[in-house]
């Protein structure tokens, strides 16, 4: 049973992946309506290995890459769920220089393979390029209730809750708290 579903990712095959916040796992709904857990719900905390043995420790944020592999941000880690059901660590945020992600609420992937993470604590959107080093993409960490226009890295975000990338590669940010 789903317990506070939080995030969705749509598969090319018609499947829907759901971040099940209350159960700290990710579920897949197949095109025939069947549902199963694909990652989380286990007892191994913050580790690579079988996806079903992992305990995410808190609500995972999810996105699908163009390859169909699922990205899962949970706690201080960005995972990739491989086709064989194994989780691989892509980044450990505590190993990154400041500012760094600490409370990721949303993940999006561009067609170029760049990964974007919105973070409520840091009040930033981070970009993890396909090649190169991660960095702040939008936001300066300050709080602001009015909408911002200008240079993205100087921007002030209130609560960047959701990110999405459209087919043209434009990044969209839902900033809770801005007017």
pLDDT tens digits along 60-111 = 899 999 899 999 998 888 999 999 999 999 988 888 888 888 889 999 999 9
Question: Helix, strand, coil proportions of the chain in percent (round to 5)?
Answer: 5, 45, 45
Q: If you average pLDDT over every residue of the chain, what do you get?
A: 88
CA dihedral 68, 74, 78, 81 (to 10 degrees): -30
| Phi, psi dihedral angles at 152 (to 5 degrees) | -60, -45
What band does 148 get if pLDDT is binned at 50, 70 and 90?
low
Strand spans (E) along 61-103: 61-64, 70-74, 77-81, 86-92
Contacts of 178 (CB under 8 A, 6+ apart): 144, 145, 146, 147, 148, 157, 158
Q: What is the pLDDT of residue 179?
A: 52
Share of the chain above pLDDT 90, in %: 46
The pLDDT of 37-63, averaged and rounded, is: 85
Cβ-Cβ contacts under 8 Å for 130 (sequence gap 6 or more) = 112, 113, 114
Per-residue pLDDT at 8 exceeds 90: yes
Q: Mean of the pLDDT values across residues 129-143? A: 85
- Largest Cα span, the chain: 46
- pLDDT reported for residue 41: 85
pLDDT category of residue 149 using cuts at 50, 70 and 90 = low
Question: C-alpha dihedral over 37, 42, 46, 51, to 10 degrees?
Answer: -40
What pLDDT score was predicted for residue 78? Answer: 92
Which of 86, 129, 135, 78 is closest to 107 using CA atoms? 78
Query: Going by C-beta distance under 8 Å and a sequence separation of 6 or more, which residues neighbour residue 145?
Result: 158, 177, 178, 179
């Amino acid at each position: 049973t789903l317990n506070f579903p939080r995030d969705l990712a749509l598969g090319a095959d018609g499947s829907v992946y759901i971040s099940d916040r209350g159960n700290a796992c990710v579920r897949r709904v197949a095109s025939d309506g069947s549902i199963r857990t694909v990652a989380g719900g286990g007892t191994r905390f913050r580790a690579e290995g079988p996806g079903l043995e992992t305990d995410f420790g808190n609500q995972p944020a999810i996105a699908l890459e163009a390859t169909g592999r699922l990205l899962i941000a949970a706690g201080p880690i960005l995972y990739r769920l491989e086709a064989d059901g194994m989780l691989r660590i892509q980044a450990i945020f505590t190993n990154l220089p400041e500012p760094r992600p600490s409370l990721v609420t949303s993940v999006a992937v561009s067609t170029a393979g760049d990964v974007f993470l919105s973070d409520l604590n840091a009040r930033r959107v981070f970009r993890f390029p396909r090649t190169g080093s991660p960095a702040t993409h939008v936001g300066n960490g300050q709080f602001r209730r009015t909408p911002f226009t200008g240079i993205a890295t100087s921007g002030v975000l209130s609560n960047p809750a959701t990110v999405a990338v459209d087919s043209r590669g434009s990044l969209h940010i839902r900033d809770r708290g801005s007017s």
